[in-house]
Amino acid sequence: MNASAPKYIVFLNSKIGYYRIGSGDQPVIALHGYGESGAHFAYLQQTAGEQNRTILAIDLPFHGQTEWKDGLTVTAAHLQGIFRQILEAEKLKNNTSFELWGYSMGGRIALGYFQAFPLEVRKLIIIAPDGIYVNPWYRFATATQFGNIIFKRTMQHPTWFMNLLNAGYRLKLINKSIFKFATNYVDDPQVRHDLYIRWTAFRKIHPSKNKLLHLIKKHQVPVTGIYGEFDRIIPYSKAEKFWEKITSKKNVFILSDGHKLLQSKYACYLWKD
């Protein structure tokens, strides 16, 4: 199966797109970053087979080829149903657990899934992951009713927010990477709409560091974290204390790069035991 060609299942009222990468016996569920798709894992086509893995890279709701028609709340239980149905469709259902990978936003979703269903995850790999450190403004905008109202109106009428961003940047309260990242998502009306929908849809998936540490220790799940040394979006420094508290098997790799870590030259770090 060519990774460039998506496959589909029907889940509830939605059409879920995903990519099968590799043909090994061991399943991997891979979750992409914000605004991306499962196709971003296609660079692993050759090495997945060499490592006896089949990667099922799923287009998350409101991303890629997935057509989500089941409301503006996506839960871990929704994802469990999707994962199980895809594993069955790919004749991998006899596996009682799988490796779970997540990049950036997908890292937060992977952590939230593990927190909800720890017995299903054989190994956890998170790459430049959101979710360990939670920006309080993000939590306010998505997890509170008042904050969500302000967030929605800001995405509809962003002038005041742009003025605030510009002022923060001029006063050096916001670094250049964050400033560019934020303005890229505010300038275009469609991009703003997508941002509101996507952030709001996954608002119920917010992992707790204490719960994660407890479950990792209890179930002795191997965990790998991969970070970019120069990543200003999700810096390792914000998560360092979390990793120091993990006492079970773990790997932490700090690569000489920024946030974009889904690259062929870094594939080897995904396969390290």
Average pLDDT of span 83-102:
89
Indicate the domain borders of the chain.
7-134+206-270, 136-201
Q: What are phi and psi of 220, to 5 degrees?
A: 50, 50
- First vs last C-alpha separation in the chain: 27
* Stretch 128-135: mean pLDDT: 86
How do residues 8-64 score in pLDDT, each as one tens digit?
999 999 999 999 999 888 999 999 999 999 999 999 998 998 999 999 999 999 999
Average pLDDT of the chain is 89
Tell me what pLDDT residue 3 has: 52
Q: What is the pLDDT of residues 225-247, one digit of tens each?
A: 999 999 988 999 999 999 999 98
Predicted pLDDT at 244: 96
Specify the DSSP element, H or E, that contains 211.
helix 209-219
Chain centroid, CA 60 distance in Å: 9
Confidence at residue 137, expressed as pLDDT on a 0 to 100 scale: 62
In sequence order, the β-bridge partners of residue 67 are 15
Q: How far is CA 24 from CA 48, 68, 90, 262, in A?
A: 7, 29, 12, 20
3-state SS, residue 148:
helix
The pLDDT value recorded for residue 188 is 76
pLDDT at 139: 64
Residue type, 142: T
Local confidence band at 72 (pLDDT 50, 70, 90 cut-offs) = very high
Q: How confident is the model at residue 74 (pLDDT cuts 50, 70, 90)?
A: very high
- Place domain 7-134+206-270 in its CATH homologous superfamily: Alpha/Beta hydrolase fold, catalytic domain (3.40.50.1820)
Taking CA atoms, 151 is separated from 119, 142, 164, 192, 199, in Å, by 36, 8, 14, 10, 10
| pLDDT tens readout for residues 174-210 | 777 777 767 776 777 888 888 889 988 998 998 999 9
Q: How confident is the model at residue 270 (pLDDT cuts 50, 70, 90)?
A: very high
Say what angle helices 209-219 and 105-116 make with each other, to 10 degrees. 60
pTM of the predicted protein model: 0.87
The pLDDT-based confidence of 2 (bands split at 50, 70, 90) is very low
